[in-house]
Amino acid sequence: MADRIKIRAQTQGEITDIRILMQHPMETGQRKDDQGQRLPMRFIQTFTVSLNGKPIIDGQLNTSISKNPLFAFKARGMKIGDKLSVAWKDNLGEQRQDETTVT
């Protein structure tokens, strides 16, 4: 099972600052191990950010994204106590979803 997605959503006035750290090894398929064998390609293909169960961001990634990608967004219209959920699925079918409360 993949490590927990770290999500921070803090509201100041009408703007909410969202930071998401998706812990994932993100291999391009180009690197080699100590024996000279290529490491298999492994990367997050899709991710979704949802607010109170409704998708607000649908994203697609590829091999050019670094290990443990960090995303930051600003949003309007969120309230303290709203539920913010993040889910991802990688090219090998592994998936993870975590949730936080907007503060």
Distance separating alpha carbons of residues 81 and 62, to the nearest angstrom: 33
β partners of residue 9: 18
Distance separating alpha carbons of residues 50 and 84, to the nearest angstrom: 6
**Alpha carbon of 57 to those of 20, 31, 54, 70: distances in Å?**
12, 31, 9, 15
Domain 6-101 annotated CATH 2.60.40.10: yes
pLDDT in tens, 14-52: 999 999 999 999 999 899 999 999 999 999 999 999 999
Which residues lie closer than 8 Å to 55 by C-beta, 6 or more apart? Answer: 48, 49
pTM, to two decimals: 0.88
pLDDT in tens, 66-85: 999 999 999 999 999 999 99
